[in-house]
Structure 1
Amino acid sequence: MTAVPVNGSNVGATRASGPGALVRRIGLRVLALGVVAIGLLHAGGRLDGVLPGTPAPDVHPSLAAVAAVMLITFCAQILQVRIRTGRGEVGFAWGEAAVVIALFFLPTGLLPLVVLVGVLTARLAQFAGHKYVPALRTIGTFRVRTTVYQALSNTAALTVAAGVGATVAVSLGLRSHPALTPRVAAVLTVSALLYCCCSLTLVAAQLSARGVQRFRPLIWELAWSKAPIAVGNVVIGVAALAILSVDANWLLALPPVLWLLHLTHSYRLRTDDERRTWQVFAQTTRELNHLDEEQAAAAGLRGAQSLFAAERAEIAIDGLPGGLRTFDIDKDGVVGRNGTVTPARAAAAIRPLLVGGAPVGELRLYEGTQVGERSALMLAAYGDALAAVLHDAATHAELRALSERRTFDAEYDGVTGLANRAALLTRGAAALGGLDAAAPVALLLLDINHFKEVNTTLGHAAGDDVLRAVGERLSAARVQDELIARLGGDEFALLLTGAGATLPAALAHARHLAGQLAQPTAVAGVQLSVEASIGVVAATAGAVDMTELLRRADIAMYQAKRGGSSVDWYDPDRDDASTDRLALLAELREALAGEGQFDLLLQPLVRLKGGRPTGVEAFVRWNHPRRGTLKPVDFVRVVEQSELLGQFTRHTIDRALDVCGQLAAQGTPLAVGVNLSPRSLHDRDLPADIARMLARHGLPAYRLILEITETVVLSEDAVVDDVLRALRDQGIQIAVDDFGTGFSALTFLTRVPVDVLKIDRTFVNRMVDSPEALAIVRTTVELGRELGIQVSAEGVETAEQRRVLEKLSCPAGQGFHFCPPVSTERLLEVVRTTPGEPMRRLRAAE
């Protein structure tokens, strides 16, 4: 048996190109013909005495004997078992047995000629049978297509191998028709095995040169599969000679034995082939795991080429976003992307790529493809895996694009493409932190004059065009190390660092910008001149933060508007609150770092019918060591405009939850309400931090009520909705404070799901004497009842106000009529009443 390349993506069907390949191809065939010629000369006695160790044969065979041995060689080459290797398929024949018989009965010099004729006729029979007799394509060796080129290459390789075997036999002194002695059997065995080794080497070299597989792993794979078969073939050949020497009739028992041995070889090789094939399948499916579509398609094409011996493969994707696109791989394993698809009729196999029944595309295999019944199942499984990977890659690409858009939207203005307020604060803080404390910084705050008239007269689309034009001109006039941002509305900010951040340089740059913006521009078919007021502030990096820079620039900008000039600068003498504000900010930082300066006063929320408390609201008081007791109005605005807001908010909520825990411990589990700044709703970490505080205090989420104002609805930032949604999902209650005083109360209720509406105290105080205020209170109570939202009244001061609220069926209220804000200890006494009894009312003096 010998190794024969019968088919494959590059085996026989594809010829190597180039001068070197041409020389190798012709050289092997010329060498084969030379080996045959030398053998004939030796068989005719022409080399007697010319070459050492080459005695002339003592017996001249008959033509019938030569023909019989050629027939045996033909039959040995026709009967094959095949294995897949790399992108090709290799067949093992009974060549060693034929070599043993030929060396025994014929002069050794005729062996190359016998092998040449026997192999060539067998290969041409395979070629003709597959091409012209369709019925043979499913039988044995005819199942795989061969070519004339492949037949010639294979014949040349085996002829040269036969020459090697014959040379070894001659050198060991073998003559034709010898007696079958142990020495003769040994010589025949060695010659046949060397023929096997030489044929394996030549065939592996051919396959490696054609790109089927690298030579070293290929020769080891072939040798591992071939070794037991070659030994068995030699044993069969020697056994046949032994039987013939004893009694030729016993040869009738040899065909069944040969057939059983052939089945055994076939089963073993098929089992090894199955194992290798599924190993390759597992490896190729593992290599599909890529989140990039092009990488996944390339891995899919290489895997298809390896699994199904496809000379060329193609993936057409038309069921995913992005339109039709194709990837293909050629016979050299080069993957490319093109915009055309080969007609489907040219494909040897097509596998639709589906995910959940939805089409993704098609996998198409072309020349050299082998897809039998078993491979069809493998192709189906491989196609499903490839479809899933391509679908996942497309999904990942969409998620990545969505994430990039969300990141862009979080940091950039959607109209102008400039950085937004959040990005200005973040990048500006990083820029200030990276500078020396004495380094100059400047901020220009620009506000477009009469911008509202543009929106009103020409429409909002024209207003957006104006904003884009302003952004483009600011970008065109950008100086080095300048950060430009649109803060919202018609406000822009420019942060300057470096040499251009001194006050004279910043003022000069601001005046230049004002002049550039005043240049006429066409908007909606109208020539407009954009006028702007620019406030300039200059400071050192260690003296201010971004919030303070914006505050000062805002003051300077309004000074420019009031003064009728286009540019003005910040003057500390015109900002009485500046020094005091900075000092208060530093004192606030110290107070938060220490203990004991912040207290909570708590005011009960009372059910109007029955007088029982239903909750409490927390109010912060700052026991300042120098300024005395400060109410929120004295310091909350400073907190909201600083980076301390997050720390202050968490401190207040934690203290309120501690009070809530004390109330629950004494048997009065009441919810506690805390006012939340609108700016806190831009803090994505707040919901998770509150969840940890609730867990630490062992309280359910519904015991916390976060009170927000209607101004939240004016924010267009998606982060506000995300934070509110995260808080609601935890079970935290959301209350609307001062309801009715905002710009769009009803719109607010449609956007933000809330649990409590707190009627503003201005309506409660006026409802006894004002029909309009009474109507608003009545409408709010009815609205809450219809929407299933709790309603409470703030600022209930008198018994008459309470009676009116009860008549309107308002469920609850809070105010000095029931209890003023008191300390935690006093609150515990107030609500510690006998169940069923109303809460004892307190006066402010108590």
Structure 2
Amino acid sequence: MVLYACVIPAALVVAGAGVVWYPPAASGRGTAIRLVAAIAAVLLAQLARVRIRLGPALVSLGWGEAALVVVVFVVPLGWVPASVLVGVAISQVIFRIAGEVRTPLNMAYNAANFTLAAAAAAGVAGLVLPATRSLSNPRIAVGLILAAVVYTVVNLVLFAALVNFHVGTRFSEVIKRSLAGKVFLIVGNIAVGLLVVVTGNVDPRWLLVLPPVLWLLRQSYSNRLRADDERRGWQEFSRATEALNRLEERGVAEAGVRGAARLFPTATIEVRVLRPDALWSYRGGGESAVVSGPASSAAAGPLTETRPLQVGGAEVGELRVHFPEPVQLSPREQMQLSAFADALAAALHDAASHRELQALSARSLHAASHDGLTRLANRDALLAKGNGALRVLERETAVALLLLDVDHFREVNDTLGHAAGDQLLHTIADRMRGYARGDELVARLSGDEFGLLITSLDGPAAADEEAAGLTQALRRARELVDLVGMQVEVAGVPLAPECSVGVVVAPAGSVDMTELLRRGYIAMYRAKRGGGVIGWYDGAGDDGSTDRLALLAELREALSSGGQLVLAYQPALDLATGAPTGVEALVRWQHPRRGELLPDEFIAVLENSDLVGTFTRYVVDQALAVATEWAAHDVAVPVSINLSPRSLLDADLPEQLGELLAKHRVPAGRLVLEITETVVVPEHDAISAVLDGLQRLGVQLAVDDFGTGYSSLKFLTRVHVDEVKIDRSFVGRMVDSPEVTAIIKATVDLAGDLGVRVVAEGVETAEQKSALARLGCAAAQGYHFHPPLPAEKITGVLVNLARASGARVIPLRSEGAS
């Protein structure tokens, strides 16, 4: 109403002012004819319109620009608004008489709209047009074109304001969609207007040819605009249906509301979904949020278009489109509404099916992982969830499993019946469920067996420190026995249930749930055999541990997959110059569950398996690959590998090592194999053959942990070695023990006489380094110099050491050594 109150009076004022203030220069029959012709042109331009629907609004696109060009050229500029006002007003009356629904207020606004646009156009034309209307003057064409453009812009702005106030469509959206379909028409209208002006001045009889031309243009406009509108409509429909691809009812229903609102922007959309227990409503429209709640029972009103939502005859719900005023939907809109309802029904049906499948799957999963009687987790769930809990714990975290067996349960079943037995089990389950803490897992393992996994014991569970964790677990077991033993009435008979509990405590990284259960049963049977209530697992008499088997299987997988077994490199340095003399490769196992394992934790398992050869080749391959990088940086020091005793029984070892050396193009002299003296002291032809093959290959041999065996001297007489490594146990005690110092001195002197290089292991202090240097030891390694380093760091360290020592790398053998 505010818009009407501003626009209509303004148009009347402008039209009246133009007539009063700008009378025609000459009056008479000619002037009257021009005025009548101008009004007739406006009237014909309105009647010969092209109508399209812009969203909910029916838009009329006439020949207004063409008529405006004629009116501006024919009549005085002051009379232009009045001429347009009269012509448009007459057309509005004719439309009303023809049956179109038009209120007087709407008719007045339409006439005022065109009048104000014409007044603006006349004002612009007055600034450009010359006083004499001669077609030879180019200012005529420029002024008429500018007037038509201004007329179109003002008309479009006033129309967009009306649509925005009236039906809520965004102002920018109206402008965008109107221009998208009207640019071609505007250009054509201006061209027609200019053609009429020129033709009328040259020979008015040529105007008789215009009607068929205008009719053809009108059909072209109509077809083009309808095609554009159809295309936009189906694009909106495509986007609306595509948005229905959801799996949840709410998502589908909300997409249905927004999609229908795109097709009918002025309407309020309601999607009513038939649920098993109620009829649910999702309602929204335009830019408003979708609101959901129970659907009302009210019937659809006269301004509402409804479509049933059905799939295969089954009722899914209903789609309601509430319009603010009576609307006659076009055939295309009727088709789109029906097709969208079908797509929405199918999407809602799929969402309901998905919901039922999820519920069924959840019930199935719950039934597969829970005990039907007690609703506790079953054995499978305990294994799966328990293993998951163990994997996320720190490796040394203490965990405990309490395995509970109800004593004399068969007597309860035989005496009171199975229903009474079920009642007793249900009671025990409820008590254990209430006893368990937040992160603990309770399960029913079989008929009268229950388990409680505890993952938050206070004490550690390392092999030598597990007493604290076991104390906590035993305390929990006693509490559980007391809780289960509380009196309960079953089938009218008071019972005090008795039970036996097996307790096992272990580090989380050392076992899995299968092993915990096995140990728990051993502890529980020990309690039953001993006549006690609680038994615990201590490993005594248990020769069936699965941990070694599991570790072997995991080691096999680590070798096949790669990435878990990595090498760390510790350099040995010349004690006089600080130059690197070699590097020892030390293997580390980055276990995904147990954490980092040192060789002592898995070598024993490896030695008793068929993986020794595979493991040796893997380690040598990795070490030679890194040693290649050292040579590229002019630090061609050898790399040492600890050789398994069993490897010396492998006749293929020399050939395999030769292939790896050739693969990495590393000279054989840069590979050092460290063996222990106790391995080769016994006379064994196979070992001797392998040693001979290694010497022919040219690799170096070193004696590891020299002096710790019982036949050190005999070893040196049987095996040609290049290096002796003094064991760290001697180095650690040499400062405080003259006896150990004497042994090291004797070893160094003996090695010197034999031309063998000596390397001391485990040097951790400067005092040890100085003492070794005084004894004549040439080289050493240990944390005092460098800890074992990853592959990506060792090359840089070697380069720096070589530079610091004057770029002099000490070879493995001394000059003249045999």
TM-score normalised by L of structure 2: 0.58
Structure 2 vs 1, CA of residues 446 and 67 (structure 1 numbering), >3 Å: closer, same or farther? farther
- Percent identity, aligned pairs only, is 41
CA distance in 2 between partners of 1:324 and 1:106 (Å) = 67
| Paired position in structure 1 for 2:51 | 82
The one of 16, 21, 25 aligned to 1:40:
16
The Cα shift of 1:191 comes to: 0.6
Contact 1:43 1:107 survives alignment (8 Å):
no
The Cα shift of 1:311 comes to: 0.7
1:260-659 paired onto structure 2 within 5 Å = 260-308=216-264, 311-318=267-274, 323-341=278-296, 343-346=299-302, 348-367=304-323, 370-452=328-410, 466-479=424-437, 481-500=439-458, 502-519=469-486, 530-561=497-528, 567-572=533-538, 576=541, 578-581=542-545, 585=549
Which of the two has higher C-alpha Rg? Answer: 2
Structure 2 vs 1, CA of residues 34 and 87 (structure 1 numbering), >3 Å: closer, same or farther? closer
CA distance in 2 between partners of 1:113 and 1:469 (Å) = 97
The Cα shift of 1:149 comes to: 6.8
| Paired position in structure 2 for 1:226 | 182
Amino acid in the other structure paired with 2:387: A
Structure 2 vs 1, CA of residues 464 and 314 (structure 1 numbering), >3 Å: closer, same or farther? farther
CA distance in 1 between partners of 2:213 and 2:363 (Å) = 74
Amino acid in the other structure paired with 2:238: A
The Cα shift of 1:525 comes to: 7.7
Contact 1:88 1:309 survives alignment (8 Å):
no
The Cα shift of 1:195 comes to: 0.6
Structure 2 vs 1, CA of residues 584 and 203 (structure 1 numbering), >3 Å: closer, same or farther? closer
1:26 equivalent in alignment to 2:2: yes
Deviation per CA, 1:664-721, whole angstroms, max 9, x where unpaired? xxxxxxxxxxxxxxxxxxxxxxxxxxxxxxxxxxxxxxxxxxxxxxxxxxxxxxxxxx
Unmatched tracts of structure 1, length 5 or more: 1-24, 46-54, 137-141, 595-846
Structure 2 vs 1, CA of residues 348 and 77 (structure 1 numbering), >3 Å: closer, same or farther? farther
Contact 1:470 1:517 survives alignment (8 Å):
yes
Amino acid in the other structure paired with 2:78: G
CA distance in 2 between partners of 1:370 and 1:456 (Å) = 80
Amino acid in the other structure paired with 2:186: A
Contact 1:36 1:163 survives alignment (8 Å):
no
For residue 419 of structure 1, give the secondary structure of its aligned residue in structure 2: coil
CA distance in 2 between partners of 1:442 and 1:217 (Å) = 69
The Cα shift of 1:161 comes to: 2.3
Structure 2 vs 1, CA of residues 258 and 348 (structure 1 numbering), >3 Å: closer, same or farther? farther
| Paired position in structure 2 for 1:826 | none
| Paired position in structure 2 for 1:93 | 62
Structure 2 vs 1, CA of residues 112 and 411 (structure 1 numbering), >3 Å: closer, same or farther? farther
Contact 1:204 1:219 survives alignment (8 Å):
yes
Structure 2 vs 1, CA of residues 308 and 156 (structure 1 numbering), >3 Å: closer, same or farther? same
Structure 2 vs 1, CA of residues 366 and 587 (structure 1 numbering), >3 Å: closer, same or farther? closer
The two structures, once aligned, show a CA RMSD in angstroms of 4.1
The Cα shift of 1:445 comes to: 1.3
Amino acid in the other structure paired with 1:568: I
Deviation per CA, 1:144-192, whole angstroms, max 9, x where unpaired? x6667765665554443223212102222467x9566654354233212
Aligned residue-pair number: 543
| Paired position in structure 1 for 2:587 | none
CA distance in 2 between partners of 1:373 and 1:583 (Å) = 76
Using the TM superposition, name which of 158-167 and 216-225 deviates more. 216-225
For residue 498 of structure 1, give the secondary structure of its aligned residue in structure 2: coil
Contact 1:442 1:537 survives alignment (8 Å):
yes
1:143-222 paired onto structure 2 within 5 Å = 154-155=110-111, 157-173=113-129, 183-204=139-160, 207=163, 218-222=174-178
CA distance in 2 between partners of 1:437 and 1:193 (Å) = 81
The Cα shift of 1:264 comes to: 2.0
Using the TM superposition, name which of 204-213 and 224-233 deviates more. 204-213
Amino acid in the other structure paired with 1:512: E
Structure 2 vs 1, CA of residues 198 and 429 (structure 1 numbering), >3 Å: closer, same or farther? same
Contact 2:515 2:545 survives alignment (8 Å):
no
The Cα shift of 1:505 comes to: 1.6
Structure 2 vs 1, CA of residues 582 and 333 (structure 1 numbering), >3 Å: closer, same or farther? closer
Contact 1:536 1:568 survives alignment (8 Å):
yes
CA distance in 1 between partners of 2:407 and 2:538 (Å) = 25
The Cα shift of 1:283 comes to: 2.5
The Cα shift of 1:28 comes to: 7.4
Structure 2 vs 1, CA of residues 278 and 518 (structure 1 numbering), >3 Å: closer, same or farther? same
Contact 2:85 2:114 survives alignment (8 Å):
yes
For residue 492 of structure 1, give the secondary structure of its aligned residue in structure 2: strand
Contact 1:211 1:332 survives alignment (8 Å):
no
Structure 2 vs 1, CA of residues 241 and 585 (structure 1 numbering), >3 Å: closer, same or farther? closer
Structure 2 vs 1, CA of residues 435 and 346 (structure 1 numbering), >3 Å: closer, same or farther? same
| Paired position in structure 2 for 1:58 | 25
Deviation per CA, 1:249-276, whole angstroms, max 9, x where unpaired? 6655544443332222111211222222
For residue 196 of structure 1, give the secondary structure of its aligned residue in structure 2: helix
CA distance in 2 between partners of 1:231 and 1:95 (Å) = 12
Unmatched tracts of structure 2, length 5 or more: 460-468, 559-818
Structure 2 vs 1, CA of residues 255 and 311 (structure 1 numbering), >3 Å: closer, same or farther? same
Contact 1:101 1:237 survives alignment (8 Å):
yes
Amino acid in the other structure paired with 1:34: A
TM-score normalised by L of structure 1: 0.56
The Cα shift of 1:94 comes to: 2.0
For residue 457 of structure 2, give the secondary structure of its aligned residue in structure 1: helix
Amino acid in the other structure paired with 2:81: P
CA distance in 1 between partners of 2:7 and 2:557 (Å) = 94
CA distance in 1 between partners of 2:187 and 2:550 (Å) = 94
Structure 2 vs 1, CA of residues 80 and 443 (structure 1 numbering), >3 Å: closer, same or farther? same
Structure 2 vs 1, CA of residues 519 and 264 (structure 1 numbering), >3 Å: closer, same or farther? same
Structure 2 vs 1, CA of residues 116 and 467 (structure 1 numbering), >3 Å: closer, same or farther? farther
The Cα shift of 1:455 comes to: 5.7
CA distance in 1 between partners of 2:553 and 2:202 (Å) = 112
| Paired position in structure 1 for 2:214 | 258
CA distance in 1 between partners of 2:492 and 2:215 (Å) = 94
CA distance in 2 between partners of 1:205 and 1:90 (Å) = 14
Using the TM superposition, name which of 233-242 and 95-104 deviates more. 233-242
